[in-house]
Amino acid sequence: MWPKFPDEFDPAHIAPAEADHGDAWYFVFTENELVVKSVQGVPEPVTADDFRWMDMEVHVKHFLGHYLNRPCFAISANGATGEGYSTTGLRGLLGRTQQSLFYLAGRAQQILEWDETHRFCGRCGTEMVHHATDRAKHCPACGLINYPRLSPSIIVLVTRGEEMLLARNAAWPTGLYSTLAGFVEPGESIEQTVHREVMEEVGLQVGELKYFGSQSWPFPNSLMLGFHAEYTGGEIVCQDDEIADAQWFTATTLPQTPPKTAISGWLIQEFLDQLEAG
């Protein structure tokens, strides 16, 4: 099964007085990239002690909670990181670091993005303030409350016997194929979204759906719900301007696909494991 969020993480939004010490992890984002250091070739977040040596100005700082009793903070900053440090987009962490650290970095980026895009009330325009007890923004004028935003979406591997349908988005590099995905629309159930997205993107009908698991996908704020779906009919017709190509593949004809650390790669591997098990 897909790995769950680590039990060792204890989320919170109000930092204890002693939390911000030298060993605290700082998930520092500058221009939407995470500042990291290399530990035996593996990227890790910087510590509070590391950050003190950097020539960076903090714009926003949020407490995330504790991971293995280590306090964690999300920080938006600008400036020079100094020697020994680099920056990377979150996609660059996939397969290169622990899953738990990818999740935490994703959580940090989503909270910072929410903070940046909810500075003012969307109803009356008043500057928002932090809620007293929840991780939320509160409007002191009209009372509107905004919590961090999540966008539920589906991701599905369509199968036909021993074949699987993989598609290439028009914006992706040539040769990279993956599963189908799409956002849930207002008023839809998750199951309705699967059927609609498959029909819209490749013109196929699917029958039985099997839910496998979910993954937080911070690009920028998705929650991906993963399915296998059995093909029931139709011919492949790719959606204009979105799907460049879609084909049926077997275990021996697979193209380049996402890594197993991404839920799309996991759905593909699950199907291959089922075939091997008979």
The full set of domain ranges for the chain reads 9-117, 123-149, 151-277
Instruction: State the burial class of residue 186 (Cβ atoms within 10 Å of its Cβ: 0-12, 13-18, 19+).
Output: exposed
Q: Classify strands 9-11 and 129-130 as parallel, antiparallel or unpaired.
A: unpaired
Average pLDDT over residues 152-170: 97
The CATH number that domain 151-277 falls under is 3.90.79.10
Torsion-angle region of 267 (φ positive above 0: left; ψ -120 to 50: alpha; else: beta): alpha
Q: Check if 9-117 and 151-277 are the same fold.
A: yes
Please enumerate in sequence order all residues whose Cβ is within 8 A of that of 18, keeping only pairs 6 or more positions apart, or say none: none
- Band of the pLDDT at 7, cuts 50, 70, 90? low
pTM for this one?
A: 0.89
pLDDT, tens digit, for every residue of 114-133? 999 999 999 999 999 999 99
Report which of 274, 105, 272, 101 is spatially closest to residue 179, judged by C-alpha positions: 272
Of 149, 219, 119, nearest to 130 (Cα)?
Answer: 119
Contact indicator for 148, 114 with CB cutoff of 8 Å: yes
- Residue 8's pLDDT band (boundaries 50, 70, 90)? confident
Q: Which fold has domain 9-117?
A: Nucleoside Triphosphate Pyrophosphohydrolase (3.90.79)
Strands (E), 195-260: 205-217, 222-233, 243-249
